[in-house]
Amino acid sequence: SQTIHQWPATLVQPVGSPLSLECTVEGTSNPNLYWYRQAAGRGLQLLFYSVGIGQISSEVPQNLSASRPQDRQFILSSKKLLLSDSGFYLCARQGAQETQYFGPGTRLLVL
């Protein structure tokens, strides 16, 4: 089966600290992968997507970055977190007929 893992599940970080969120996918090769952010009371905002190793497209300019060092690994990073980075971060992979399948998410609170 195709499974998406996200780590960590929950994170509390001070403003100005770095960030690294990891997403790994099992059971599929060369998937399109996506990072979304869900802020409290809002919908989903696409942050980055990747169609292959080393290929990253950014949808929204901000202090976040993404990398894809391996086929099934997608990492979201920041050098210095802002209060506005708080939210629920979701990784997704693309399946058939444009369907997207989501991981369990990482809840980030920046204080």
Partner 1 sequence: GNSVTQMEGPVTLSEEAFLTINCTYTATGYPSLFWYVQYPGEGLQLLLKATKADDKGSNKGFEATYRKETTSFHLEKGSVQVSDSAVYFCALARQAGTALIFGKGTTLSVSS
Q: Which residue from 90, 93, 108, 110 is in contact with partner 1, where contact means CB under 8 A? A: 90
Q: How far is the CB of 72 from partner 1 (least distance, A)?
A: 17
11 contributes a contact to partner 1 by CB under 8 A: no
| Long-range contact set of residues 42-48: C-beta below 8 Å, sequence gap at least 24 | 44/90, 47/76, 48/76
Segment near partner 1 (CB under 8 A), from 11-19, 22-30, 73-81, 95-103? 95-103
Short-list 23, 18, 24, CA closest to 63: 18
Spatial contact of 64 and 76, defined as CB atoms under 8 Å apart: yes
Instruction: Tell me how far apart the alpha carbons of residues 19 and 2 are, in angstroms, rounded to a whole number.
Output: 26
Q: Which residue from 32, 73, 77, 86 is in contact with partner 1, where contact means CB under 8 A? A: 32
Interface residues toward partner 1, by CB under 8 A: 6, 32, 34, 36, 42-44, 46, 49, 51, 59, 90, 92, 94, 97-105, 107
